[in-house]
Amino acid sequence: MSRPGRDDSPDRLYTLTGGRTRSAPDNPFDLVTLVVAEGDPVTGMQSEHAAILRLTEHPTAVVELAAELKLPVSITKILLSDLLAAGRVSARHPRAAVSDPDVLEQVLVGLRNL
């Protein structure tokens, strides 16, 4: 069984990223970063960039984008960095989980009352 991105021609991946193997060191993207398009695809845009913009009409995690595009996460992050630098997408991390014991206790009491 082939894995997405693993059987792609290295030449294709090299072309997609312009030869880059890593995104910038200040790259804000990790697997769970939510990405949202800030506009629609434009004529002449790289097809993968256009696909990302279509997929991110609603907040979408980086790992989901990589799976949909059938590309390695590292390549997807490079493409996302390009779009972020151009102002075509925005990125945010999901909110941290609630860890306040009092809040969790109130939720538990509320669930028991159902």
Averaged over successive runs of 10 residues, the pLDDT of the chain (114 residues) comes to: 54 70 74 91 90 94 94 90 92 75 84 86
The sheet that has 34-37: what strands, in order across it?
60-61, 34-37, 89-92
Q: 90 forms bridges with which residues in the sheet?
A: 36
CA 34 – CA 94 distance, rounded (Å) = 7
- pLDDT tens per residue, range 38-50: 999 989 888 899 9
Q: Taking the model in full, what pTM does it have? A: 0.70
Question: What's phi and psi for 17, nearest 5 deg?
Answer: -100, 5
